[in-house]
């Protein structure tokens, strides 16, 4: 079974929740960005990563905006789910931008990245904030992957939502402090939705648990069945 949850921000206690305990051996948990456990390389962090990698189910995360991308990039890339991924250790994987994975017989398109709402306060050379926005190469890779499957995808996993959904949620919340401003990445996702057929689209940056429609879901603390 495939499950989806939102930003973990390095909170190991989330794995002990009642919802997490429903996952069984062989299941897969998809995390919609801001995983947060690859941050400073400390002894405590390495212990947490080892613990997560030894869970009976796969834990697969995309990057969000609060990541140490330089440290994350040091992990080796190998093939998993018929596409390249970084194995952090054991059953713990970082799913790359613009790839389509085959997981439990389902196709899963992944695209991390975004713009942090605290971007104005970051240092220019801060490794945690560099490379947040996908590159042209990553956008091109995404387009090529979608073309290969003729736009037919089971699940879309992103950190950011499509443009109209982000604007709608920010209007409801009456703030841009969560999720940041609408950007070109949100516009890209808006166009992506028009050229693909998919069952469900999950995203995590807005920090709410809410079904926007039958096909789009904002996820944060809940653990949802992808089906």
Over 80: is that where the pLDDT of 130 sits? no
Tell me the C-alpha distance between 178 and 170, whole Å.
8
Tens-place pLDDT, residues 100-122:
999 999 999 999 999 876 654 45
Over 80: is that where the pLDDT of 53 sits? yes
Indicate the SS3 state at residue 49.
helix
Tens-place pLDDT, residues 156-209:
999 999 999 999 898 776 555 566 688 899 999 999 999 999 999 999 999 999
Q: Where do the structural domains in the chain lie, given as residue ranges?
A: 2-225
Kindly state the helix (H) or strand (E) to which residue 190 belongs, with its residue range. Answer: helix 184-195
Over 60: is that where the pLDDT of 9 sits? yes
Burial (Cβ within 10 Å: 0-12, 13-18, ≥19) of residue 158: buried
Q: Are 172 and 119 in contact (CB under 8 A)?
A: no
Q: Are 32 and 55 in contact (CB under 8 A)?
A: no
Kindly state the helix (H) or strand (E) to which residue 44 belongs, with its residue range. Answer: helix 43-53
CATH number of this structure's domain 2-225: 3.60.21
Over 70: is that where the pLDDT of 127 sits? no
Name residue, tokens 């940056």: 205
Q: Are 92 and 101 in contact (CB under 8 A)?
A: no
* pTM beyond 0.85: yes
């Amino acid at each position: 079974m495939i499950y989806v949850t939102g930003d973990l921000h390095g909170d190991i206690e989330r794995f002990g929740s009642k919802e997490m305990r429903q996952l069984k051996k062989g299941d897969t948990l998809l995390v919609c960005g801001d995983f947060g456990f690859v941050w400073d390389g400390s002894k405590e962090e390495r212990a947490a990563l080892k613990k997560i990698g030894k869970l009976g189910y796969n834990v697969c995360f995309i990057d969000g905006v609060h990541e140490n991308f330089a440290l994350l990039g040091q992990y080796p890339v190998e093939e998993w789910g018929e596409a390249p991924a970084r194995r952090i250790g054991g059953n713990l994987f970082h799913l790359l931008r613009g790839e389509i994975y085959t997981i439990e017989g389902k196709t899963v398109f992944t695209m991390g990245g975004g713009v942090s709402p605290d971007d104005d306060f970051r240092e220019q050379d801060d490794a945690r904030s560099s490379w947040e926005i996908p590159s042209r190469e990553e956008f091109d890779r995404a387009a090529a992957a979608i073309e290969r499957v003729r736009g037919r995808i089971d699940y879309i996993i992103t950190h950011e939502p499509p443009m109209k959904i982000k604007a709608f949620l920010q209007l409801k919340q009456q703030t841009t402090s969560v999720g940041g401003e609408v950007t070109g990445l949100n516009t890209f996702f808006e166009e992506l939705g028009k050229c693909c057929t998919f069952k469900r689209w999950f995203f995590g940056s807005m920090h709410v648990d809410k079904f926007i429609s039958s096909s789009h879901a904002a996820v944060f603390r809940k653990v949802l069945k992808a089906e």
